[in-house]
Amino acid sequence: LTKGVIIGGQINNTEEIINILKEFKTNLKLNYIKMSLPEEKAYLFTAKIPVVGKDEIRSAVESKMEENVPVSPLELTLDYKLFEREEKDLIDVVVSALPISLVDLYVDIAEKAELSLLSLEMESQAITRAILSAGATGTSLIVNFSPEKVGLYVSYARVVRFTSTISTKGEYSN
């Protein structure tokens, strides 16, 4: 990518991204893609919800949004993963929330590149799934070094439960 096309997870030149994807489509004979969304734009939190019926889980998760995310839930799309607990009256939930406008942008880019989008997932989760074996259990710390940032991802059973992204770019004077 040309410098400045993506900065801090923000796409600044969608046309260049679309053209690159079209080139990949032609050269690699791609029709389907999975895209990862920038960690810097996501909200990730864990919470405990009461044991409820399947049709009530989403509203129980949504009830935890206001206390964990500084953006209106109406502006976000969310996904979650449930974990059983030893305490039978509560369920652990790992929630990832992203701005709807960001998701729409990525969907639009895929469509304009004439590629069928199979999935969107947070960068940290995509990396975790790619490097940990399918049967991995226990806790892992993944350190993702990029040219302008370092991502620290803590996962349990291949599900990211905590992330921190540290910018490594900056100007230093002597």
**What are the tokens at 140?**
């892992």
pTM, full prediction:
0.83
pLDDT at 174: 43
* Cβ within 8 Å of residue 158, ≥6 positions away: 128, 129, 132, 134, 136
Q: What is the pLDDT of residue 39?
A: 87
Sequence-ordered list of residues with C-beta below 8 angstroms from that of 42, at least 6 positions apart, any chain: 96, 97, 98, 122, 123, 124, 163
Report the pLDDT value the prediction gives residue 154, as an integer from 0 to 100: 95
Interatomic CA distance for residues 126 and 37, integer angstroms: 9
Q: What pLDDT, on a 0 to 100 scale, did the predictor assign at position 170?
A: 60
Tell me what pLDDT residue 7 has.
79
Query: What are the residues whose beta carbons fall under 8 Å from the beta carbon of 20, sequence distance 6 or more?
Result: 1
Question: What's the pLDDT score for residue 167?
Answer: 83
Residues in the chain, overall count? 174
pLDDT value at position 172? 47
* CB-facing half-sphere around the CA of 5: CA atoms within 13 A: 10
What does the block give as tokens for 123?
Answer: 């960068």
What pLDDT is recorded for position 23?
Answer: 95
Q: What is the mean pLDDT of each run of 10 residues along the chain (174 residues)?
A: 81 93 94 92 92 90 91 91 80 93 95 95 93 92 89 93 84 46
